[in-house]
Chain A
Amino acid sequence: MEENNEILLMKGNEAIAHAAIRCGCDGYFGYPITPQSEVLETLAKEEPWKTTGMIVVQAESEVSAINMLYGGGAVGKRVMVSSSSPGVALMQEGITYMAGAELPGLIVNVQRGGPGLGTIQPSQGDYFQSTRGGGNGDYNVIVLAPASVQEMADFVDLAFTLAFRYRNPVLMLSDGVIGQMMEKVVLPPFKPRRTNEEIRQECPWAAIGKRQKGKSIVTSLELEPKEMEKHNLHLQAKYKEIREKEVRFEEYKTDDAEYLIVAFGSAARIAQKAIELCRAEGIRVGMLRPITLWPYPADEIARLSHQVKGILSVEINAGQMIEDIRLAVEGRVPVEHYGRMGGMVPGPDEIVTALKEKIINR
């Protein structure tokens, strides 16, 4: 496995697969679904079990895949699954169990239009599912939203780092645009898989078998309510720490902005073009792009809401993230939404028109 900084051209889905092999991933479990199938296809083609020893399993269903992730996480392995929206809906039970049992693991969602079986075209309709907890109980998963093929590659290692730092599932929320498009990427440097001894050192909680000191019990079940509340309070304290330390975002031309667009993932790319068009007309628009959707960059949006006259939330859905923006803005300035659904993706011109109609000339 040679080192190189070669600039490659590949799809976002392919970048995830290559990054996983290079980031010391121990196992991948998946089930084919458009528009994410290239993740599994690339891994099958690369045959990492012959090089790094990473295993790749095509599970019999998404339910099976997520429970393989639970198993891998329980023994302290760097494991991942990928799917698209309806498949990730099937995984929600496993995700809340992992959050409850405090297990690390990476879930990649290359979103497509819904609801239900929906369509195979791109969407960002799973924002609520991702950030509000698609499963039962009081829990959060860390949600990373890549906006480029480079970020698809870079966020794999980041996700594993965060998952193990907080013993929590991390979700990479991508979509059919970023998954299917090709652009330039430099793959992360090669990092070997951890040895069993390293796992024993780093993950004293892992259920790795007989050579362990004491018992490691991995479960999300606790029938004694006092104990269960204590566990919940521990989880909430952990979530608070994550909110304080792990908010990530990017600002684009906000310095002199009179108007603000908030957008994530592929919508942020399209919105950036809309901003270029607006700026050419002399309209001072900037953008805040949340990179973590949970924890959410609420403080930064609140700060910018004192500077701008209005905010447009651009999402490829009916308006989901707008709720988080409005919570942050607390009514100081108008916050409106523009988006498309069902696999339709807005063009830059549509966003310019929406900004003018809904915010500037309202």
Chain B
Amino acid sequence: MKSEIIIAGFGGQGVLSMGKILAYAGLFEGKEVTWMPAYGPEQRGGTANVTVIVSDEPISSPILSSYDVAVVLNQPSLDKFEEKIKPGGILIYDPYGISTPPQRTDISVYCINAMDAAAEMSNVKSFNMIVLGGLLEVCPIVGTKEVLKALHKTLPQRHHHLIPQNEEALRRGHEVITKER
């Protein structure tokens, strides 16, 4: 089993850290993992994406031409990565700020109102954990226990008191994701 995933959005949305949690959770399950950021000069507001591969077998390339799953969190990322999803693959997107919705009919399309859900929870920073929860609802690549362990690993000690909020956000993500087609 191998999952080739791209997560793409704006810098500051937590794209890279979401990928990191996924990669660590894969590590804790004893799987092979790679985490390859498209690192750029931008920080907040620029585009950011990360390729995460979680596999039972050794991984060759950390860089891919096509993906099993694309999680896109803004219009430029949707424009860039929708066409790179393998036929039969999965697209997850947040409609916030999307003017041209996904067009393809040969893939499964899921919608997650994570921006709205984060606002409802009065915790915009939990946005990426809501998205991760949604991703794991659709593709249970790694177990919840490992994700929580990964949260402990990736969050600095001084932020560990926020783990319950992150857990809640993950749970919310599982609930709010909906299948469009």
Contact = CB atoms under 8 A, between A and B. Distances in A.
Given A9-B35, A180-B37, A183-B34, A273 B23 contact: no
Contact of B64 (A120, A176, A273): A273
Given A120-B39, A348-B65, A350-B65, A183 B60 contact: no
Contacts of A35: 39
B63 A183 contact: no
A121 B39 CA distance: 8
A274 B66 CA distance: 12
A184 interface: yes
A276 interface: yes
B33 interface: yes
A345 interface: yes
B61 A182 contact: no
Main secondary structure of the interface of A (DSSP, over half): helix
B20 interface: yes
Given A177-B62, A272-B60, A273-B61, A183 B33 contact: yes
A34 B61 CA distance: 22
B66 A345 contact: no
A173 interface: no
Contacts, number: 69
A349 interface: yes
Interface residues of B, number: 21
B59 interface: yes
A181 B61 contact: no
Interface in B25-42: 27, 32-37, 39-41
A182 B34 contact: yes
A269 B66 contact: no
A56 B62 CA distance: 31
B66 A349 contact: yes
Contacts of A273: 60-61, 64
Contacts of B60: 269-270, 272-273, 275-276
Nearest to B51: A181
A269 B62 contact: yes
Contacts of B127: none
Nearest to B37: A180
A115 interface: no
A182 B20 contact: yes
A117 interface: no
A272 B34 CA distance: 15
A272 B33 CA distance: 16
Given A177-B36, A180-B37, A182-B34, A349 B20 contact: no
B23 A9 contact: yes
Interface in B57-78: 59-66
A313 B31 CA distance: 31
Nearest to B150: A9
A35 B41 CA distance: 11
Quick one: which of B34, B39, B60, B66 has the most chain A CB within 10 A? Answer: B60
B24 interface: yes
Nearest to A346: B63
Contacts of A348: 61, 63-65
A9 B36 contact: no
A319 B25 CA distance: 39
A181 B32 CA distance: 13
A120 B41 contact: yes
Interface in B1-60: 20, 23-24, 27, 32-37, 39-41, 59-60
A183 B35 contact: yes
Quick one: which of A35, A176, A182, A273 has the most chain B CB within 10 A? Answer: A182
A182 B63 contact: no
A347 interface: yes
A35 B38 CA distance: 11
A269 B23 contact: no
A181 B24 CA distance: 13
B65 A345 contact: no
B130 to A, nearest CB: 23
A349 B83 CA distance: 14
Contacts of B35: 9, 181-183
B27 A7 contact: yes
6 contacts: A9-B23, A120-B40, A180-B39, A266-B62, A270-B63, A272-B60
Given A120-B41, A272-B60, A348-B61, 17 more contacts: A9-B23, A9-B35, A34-B39, A121-B39, A180-B36, A181-B36, A181-B62, A182-B20, A182-B33, A183-B33, A184-B27, A272-B61, A274-B61, A275-B60, A276-B60, A347-B64, A348-B63
Top 3 closest pairs, chain A to chain B, by CB? A273-B61, A347-B65, A349-B65
Interface of B: 20, 23-24, 27, 32-37, 39-41, 59-66
